[in-house]
Amino acid sequence: MTEQVWTVAWWQSGWGVWQGEEPDLTTEPTYTTLNLPHVASEGATYWALGVIPHGSGSVRCQFGGDPDGMAKWETWIEEQRAIRRRRRRRLWLF
């Protein structure tokens, strides 16, 4: 059985999975999701392992697509923490 190589990268508003080690990231990916916009590349890699055909394969997650993807994710995490802090503070006051 030959090994299949898949590449995971940011695509539009979510993550995409392309077959190959150096795919053309401007083309539509083989698999895509728009419901994982706020996860780090490690999370996208685990997702990709679930959608690629099973067998002898490897997944490689490279920086690609959205240069601000990680910064956006970190900002979103901080916003969620601030929301939780405000909710806790509001509950504590009453």
User: Mean pLDDT for each consecutive 10-residue tract of the chain (94 residues)?
Assistant: 74 80 86 64 66 62 57 75 80 61
> Which pLDDT score, from 0 to 100, does residue 19 have?
84
Give the single-character DSSP code of 24. -
Say if pTM beats, i.e. exceeds, 0.75: no
Give the DSSP H/E element, type plus range, for residue 74.
helix 69-93
Q: Could you state, in order of their start, the residue ranges of all structural domains in the chain?
A: 4-93
- DSSP lists the bridge partners of residue 11 as 14
> Which pLDDT score, from 0 to 100, does residue 55 have?
62
> Which pLDDT score, from 0 to 100, does residue 70 have?
63
